[in-house]
Amino acid sequence: MHSFKEYVGLMELHGDIDREKLFEVTKMFIGKIYQRPPLRSSVKRALRIKEIYSIDILEIDGRNVLFKVKCESGTYVRKLCHDIGLLLGVEAHMRELRRVAVAHLREDLFASTLHEVSEALYMWRRYGDDSMLRNVILPGEFIVAHLPKILIKDGAVDAIAHGAQLAVPGISIFSKNITKGCTVAVMTLKGELVAIGRAAMDSEEISKSEKGIAVEINRVVIEPNVYPRMWKRKQQQP
């Protein structure tokens, strides 16, 4: 679900390299690259293709290079540094790494430290003040913010909570960006996340249809009985 990650890393070169060559070689890694996971990893060591969306050199201090990289999930930045070093001819290794964004969840906007979580909990438990806790905990819906959304009628919610697929009659408002097979977020008209599924129809088809399955539900999030039961046991088309 998290399509890309952004990191700031510190790479240490094992030899001296001029700036121009560094920029030139680093740029070569933008795009799709081959990677085989390192020995000490929990992943199967098969050759994989990962995409590097961007690499920016932030600061150079002697042989230390501070860089920012935006890449596909599952990319080993350590290996990237190693390979850059190889191509530069001096070898290099990653000294420090910090992930600064997981898709749209950015460090500068949304991250909290364990201290902040702890203090927020204290404020709530001791003084009944939940304001800090509400800053530290985001509505879970933020995790699907990047998905195309379909808002459904109140009457359709509980059926889905009980395992039904989403049929066209249950749909109230939907995004224009839905393509067949894409992952969509099914939500209530209040904005609550009901479920996540795969679109069986694209936006145009949903627009034109009066019946049929629009979304195959993969994962139900809302609990049953939050919305009232308005469905019959056997799914019927109106």
Tell me the number of residues near another protein by CB under 8 A: 68
Nearer to another protein by Cβ, of 14 and 95: the residue is 95
CA angle (67, 117, 147) in 5-degree steps: 60
Token pair for residue 137?
Answer: 């905990």
In order of 11, 57, 60, 80, 138, the CA distances from 66 in angstroms are 6, 6, 6, 14, 31
Part of the chain binding another protein (CB under 8 A), chosen from 25-33, 50-58, 62-70, 190-198: 190-198
Helix (H, G, I), strand (E, B) or coil at 57: strand
Token pair for residue 50?
Answer: 């990962």
Contact 22, 57 (CB under 8 A): yes
Token pair for residue 102?
Answer: 């997981």
Contact 105, 142 (CB under 8 A): yes
Nearer to another protein by Cβ, of 159 and 221: the residue is 221
Positions 163 through 182 that interact with another protein (CB under 8 A): 168, 171-177
Contact 32, 42 (CB under 8 A): no
Part of the chain binding another protein (CB under 8 A), chosen from 12-20, 64-72, 79-87, 224-232: 224-232
Nearer to another protein by Cβ, of 84 and 171: the residue is 171
Part of the chain binding another protein (CB under 8 A), chosen from 16-24, 46-54, 91-99, 159-167: 91-99
Handedness of CA 119, 125, 128, 133 (dihedral sign): positive
For another protein, which residue of 30, 90, 100, 123 counts as binding (CB under 8 A)?
A: 100
Nearer to another protein by Cβ, of 45 and 98: the residue is 98
- Which of 235, 219, 216 shows the shortest CA–CA distance to 166? 216
> Measured in whole angstroms, how far is the alpha carbon of residue 5 from the centre of its chain?
8
For another protein, which residue of 25, 60, 103, 123 counts as binding (CB under 8 A)?
A: 103
Positions 132 through 151 that interact with another protein (CB under 8 A): 133-134, 136-146, 148-149, 151
Binding mask 34-53 for another protein (x = CB under 8 A): --------------------
Helix (H, G, I), strand (E, B) or coil at 231: coil
- Rule CB under 8 A: is residue 102 a binding residue for another protein? yes
Residue ranges that bind another protein, judged by CB under 8 A: 1-2, 5, 7, 73, 96-105, 107, 110-114, 117-118, 121, 124, 130, 133-134, 136-146, 148-149, 151, 153-154, 157, 168, 171-177, 187-193, 203, 206-207, 221-222, 226-228
